[in-house]
Chain A
Amino acid sequence: GAVVSQHPSWVICKSGTSVKIECRSLDFQATTMFWYRQFPKQSLMLMATSNEGSKATYEQGVEKDKFLINHASLTLSTLTVTSAHPEDSSFYICSARDPSGRAPYEQYFGPGTRLTVT
């Protein structure tokens, strides 16, 4: 149980275009999802907290208009990188809480999405 998927696992896009990354909780309803960014051999940096049916809460320094987060259902959150540039190339990871699960304080992580902007 508590499986989180991400799609796509790897994406290449041209500079100036937008790309959408999906995060799904497969066997539970996730009222809260989190989006992280990770550079090689570095830690995970929290970008935003996404609550179903409400606006995302962004961490300081994260551009809301550039990284659009939508949590329209209890099993799906999306991250859209708008007008992507090479510096947005990174590994993006989502996680989700299962509030009704055995350990509601835990986060379950997706496998990540590698974004390359050319």
Chain B
Amino acid sequence: AQTVTQSQPEMSVQEAETVTLSCTYDTSENNYYLFWYKQPPSRQMILVIRQEAYKQQNATENRFSVNFQKAAKSFSLKISDSQLGDTAMYFCAFRRGGTSYGKLTFGQGTILTVHP
């Protein structure tokens, strides 16, 4: 079974600064996907960024980027130029590849607060 661990229950950052959220996972699979989701106070889950395990290049989406270390099974999220709207709970998630309806395994979540 896969496990996903987020060791930072809460983080805070000043507006315009950079913050990194940590995530580690454990799997024996070689084909899988990793995701970061954001859940703002509205509680709508929003996909922030995805990474296919077979891709060596780290994914980037505007101010969001990941540091994917496959051998270390680490998948951290870097948020640059933090904005007040980034305040949310962030979840790291794992999905096996090669299955028709693979389920997501979520980490415990990290509550991020951006201060003005």
Q: Do A112 and B107 form a contact, CB below 8 Å, given A103-B50, A105-B95, A105-B97?
A: no
Main secondary structure of the interface of A (DSSP, over half): strand
Q: Smallest Cβ distance from A24 to chain B, in angstroms?
A: 15
CA–CA, A107 and B33, complex, Å: 12
Q: Smallest Cβ distance from B103 to chain A, in angstroms?
A: 6
**Contact indicator A46/B45 (Cβ below 8 Å):** no
CA–CA, A43 and B6, complex, Å: 11
CA–CA, A46 and B103, complex, Å: 8
- Using CB atoms, name the residue of chain A closest to B46: A109
Q: Do A49 and B101 form a contact, CB below 8 Å, given A41-B111, A106-B47, A109-B44?
A: yes
Q: Smallest Cβ distance from A102 to chain B, in angstroms?
A: 11
Instruction: Show 8 residue pairs from A and B whose CB-CB distance is below 8 angstroms, ordered by the A residue.
Output: A34-B103, A44-B45, A49-B101, A99-B100, A103-B50, A105-B33, A106-B50, A109-B44
Binding site for A on B (CB under 8 A): 33, 35, 42-47, 50, 89, 91, 95, 97, 100-104, 106-109, 111
